[in-house]
Amino acid sequence: MKVKLDDTSPGHRALMQLLRTADMVWNASHAFFERWELSPSQFNVLNLLYLTPEGLSQIDLSRELIMHRSNVTGLVDRLEKRSLVARNAGVDRRTYRVVLTRVGRELMEDVLPRYYEGAVRVWEGLSEERADEVIAELETVAKNAERIGKAVATPKSEHQNPKEDRKAGI
């Protein structure tokens, strides 16, 4: 397969459109959740907990959100200050399960109908079948990106000494 090496290739144009689309959706999400004083990331935490009434550990939240644990800790801290979530001691007392509080559940019951309505509107003009096709195509793109990311990732052990890296011209 011959690869066209310029910015007019279909693959590059599709990638750029995907990134623009993701940015537009993210910006619209910020505007949408602003009325509840939530960020899209905070909503994602609340939504996962709404769908998992028994709660999740912060490690499970980080896996589900594809986010570093330290970022999840900050999100949970902010949501806990607003009494939207609580940390409950886990089975072995070393872990906590994050659960939605009554206040958090009530907030989600206000947000979710509007959120689902907005999600439908984002896909206006596409049939359900076409939306399913787009989902399948995006899953393929995500797998390809993950595979490429793993292939080009530099093991941390190779960059233990930043001074040495600078000397080597890195």
- CATH number, domain of 82, equals 1.10.10.10
Clarify whether residues 75 and 114 are in a common domain: yes
Residue 166 pLDDT > 50: no
What's residue 167's pLDDT?
Answer: 46
Q: Domain for residue 78, yes or no? A: yes
Task: Give the whole-angstrom CA distance, residue 114 versus residue 92.
Answer: 39
Clarify whether residues 54 and 138 are in a common domain: no
Task: Give the whole-angstrom CA distance, residue 111 versus residue 113.
Answer: 6
The count of domains in the chain is: 2
Residue 3 pLDDT > 70: no
Regarding pTM above 0.85, the answer is: no
Domain with 147 in it: 127-153
Clarify whether residues 86 and 131 are in a common domain: no
Task: Give the whole-angstrom CA distance, residue 4 versus residue 142.
Answer: 21
pLDDT by residue (tens digit) across 118-149?
999 999 999 999 999 999 999 999 999 999 99
Q: Domain for residue 73, yes or no? A: yes
Task: Give the whole-angstrom CA distance, residue 9 versus residue 3.
Answer: 8
Q: Domain for residue 10, yes or no? A: no
Q: Domain for residue 56, yes or no? A: yes
Edge-to-edge, what's the strand order for the sheet holding 56-57?
Answer: 56-57, 96-100, 85-89
Assign 89 to helix, strand or coil.
strand
Residue 107, token pair as written in the block = 């907030």
Which of 13, 67, 30 has its CA nearest to residue 45? 67
What's residue 1's pLDDT?
Answer: 62
Residue 35 pLDDT > 90: yes
CA angle 16-21-26, nearest 5°?
A: 130
154 pLDDT band, cuts 50/70/90, is confident
Clarify whether residues 36 and 68 are in a common domain: yes
